[in-house]
């Protein structure tokens, strides 16, 4: 009888836990194969579920629209949380371009760690995330150039139609004298296949996650990449405030620096898989040597990009130079500490 009573109690508790579990719906605009959906959000969800004894669960919701609408979807309470790329909403997240500036020279994990801490130190009082609870800040891996033509000289890029995602990429497009075509990463396959664009600025991981190895002839890899792309993950503050203090603490513990690093690390792993996918598909991979003429030409074209960002940030009342120096130093220290 005691065993029967114990089993009945366990079943009752399990039923009650599932009955009253709350689901956090996270909108995603990238495919299931992307690191955000395959690794980051599931791992974040597991940590939260474990810490709350199953009271909170995380569900990924697809097909919610353009990535630039994710912030509005969360602000309006249509979904509970999401993530997106800052370059898709020009003018709103200019401070976060601190990590996008050319010359950082680290991977996404180190850059993401540095971005989260730099934002907390220098930009926490800004209003860029008003109406949202910020969960994480992170980057994809170094941005490179996908193309349907070889790039041997900087002039090979001139007047070519290249997809850009916004942010610092807009500055690069101007200095390379290309014809920029703004579009989300999810549209690149179709645009490359149909010849709408001649190439795209993207991290290497998209060769696999977006199957771009199927439609890309050449991949040009610059030393340390041309730029980093910044993202944020965020939550509806009202949904968060309605949770118990214990559940709020569980979310906070699984977010912030921890979630930022998790995301950066996942994007780095995606780049490794993407490069392998490109090789297997027979994409022409051109690794630009640091002392090559092409590398020097590119560096000459973009050597004032960071200074332009600093000037813009200073006008907003923030110390852009200090923030940029801190981010780069923090990223390099993290990279050196975690070097394999």
Residue-level pLDDT at 13: 46
Tell me the per-residue pLDDT of 145-154, one tens digit each, with 9 for 90 and over. Answer: 999 999 999 9
Residue-level pLDDT at 12: 42
Tell me the per-residue pLDDT of 293-318, one tens digit each, with 9 for 90 and over. Answer: 999 999 999 999 999 999 999 999 99
Across the range 50-60, mean pLDDT stands at: 97
Cα–Cα nearest to 324, from 118, 26, 80, 162? 118
Residue-level pLDDT at 20: 66
- What's the burial of 81, exposed, middle or buried (CB within 10 Å: 0-12/13-18/19+)? buried
Q: How many C-beta neighbours within 10 Å does residue 306 have?
A: 22
CA dist 340 and 320 (Å) reads: 32
pLDDT bin (cut points 50, 70, 90) of residue 18 is very low
What is the token pair recorded at 337?
């500490």
pLDDT at 280 over 60: yes
Residue-level pLDDT at 5: 52
User: How high is the mean pLDDT of the chain?
Assistant: 93
Q: What is the pTM of this model?
A: 0.92
Residue-level pLDDT at 339: 81
Residue-level pLDDT at 2: 52
pLDDT at 8 over 90: no
Residue-level pLDDT at 11: 43
How many Cα neighbours within 13 Å face the side chain of 283? 29
Residue-level pLDDT at 16: 43
Across the range 134-144, mean pLDDT stands at: 98
pLDDT at 14 over 50: no
CA dist 67 and 83 (Å) reads: 8
Across the range 9-28, mean pLDDT stands at: 67
Beta carbons of 300 and 233 less than 8 angstroms apart? no
Query: Which whole-number Å values give the CA distances from 127 to 58, 120, 124, 134, 257, in the listed order?
Result: 27, 13, 8, 12, 20
pLDDT at 66 over 50: yes
pLDDT at 240 over 60: yes
Tell me the per-residue pLDDT of 189-219, one tens digit each, with 9 for 90 and over. Answer: 999 999 999 999 999 999 999 999 999 999 9
Across the range 277-290, mean pLDDT stands at: 97
């Amino acid at each position: 009888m005691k065993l029967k009573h114990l089993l009945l109690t366990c079943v009752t508790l399990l039923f009650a836990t599932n009955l009253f579990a709350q689901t956090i719906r996270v909108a995603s605009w990238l495919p299931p194969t992307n690191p955000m959906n395959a690794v980051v959000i599931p791992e974040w969800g597991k940590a939260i579920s474990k810490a709350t004894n199953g009271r909170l669960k995380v569900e990924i919701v697809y097909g919610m629209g353009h990535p630039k609408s994710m912030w509005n979807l969360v602000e309006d309470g249509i979904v509970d949380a999401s993530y997106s790329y800052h370059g898709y909403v020009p003018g709103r997240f200019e401070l976060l371009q601190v990590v996008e500036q050319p010359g950082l020279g680290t991977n996404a994990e180190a850059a993401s760690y540095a971005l989260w801490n730099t934002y907390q130190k220098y930009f926490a009082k800004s209003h860029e995330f008003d109406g949202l609870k910020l969960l994480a800040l992170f980057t994809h891996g170094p941005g490179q150039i996908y193309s349907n033509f070889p790039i041997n000289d900087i002039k090979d890029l001139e007047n070519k139609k290249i997809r850009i995602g916004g942010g610092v990429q807009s500055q690069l497009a101007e200095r390379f004298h290309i014809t920029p075509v703004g579009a989300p990463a999810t549209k690149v396959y179709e645009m490359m296949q149909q010849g709408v664009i001649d190439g795209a600025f993207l991290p290497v991981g998209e060769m696999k996650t977006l199957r771009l190895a199927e439609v890309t002839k050449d991949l040009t890899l610059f030393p340390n990449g041309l730029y980093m792309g910044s993202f944020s993950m965020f939550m509806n503050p009202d949904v968060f405030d309605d949770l118990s203090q214990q559940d709020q603490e569980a979310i906070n513990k699984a977010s912030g620096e921890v979630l930022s690093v998790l995301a950066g690390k996942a994007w780095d792993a995606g780049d490794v898989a993407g490069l392998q996918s490109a090789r297997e598909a027979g994409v022409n991979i051109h690794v630009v040597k640091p002392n090559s003429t092409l590398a020097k030409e590119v560096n000459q074209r973009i050597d004032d990009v960071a200074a332009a960002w600093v000037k813009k940030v200073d006008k907003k009342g923030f110390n852009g130079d200090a923030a940029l120096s801190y981010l780069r130093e923090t990223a390099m220290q993290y990279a050196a500490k975690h070097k394999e």
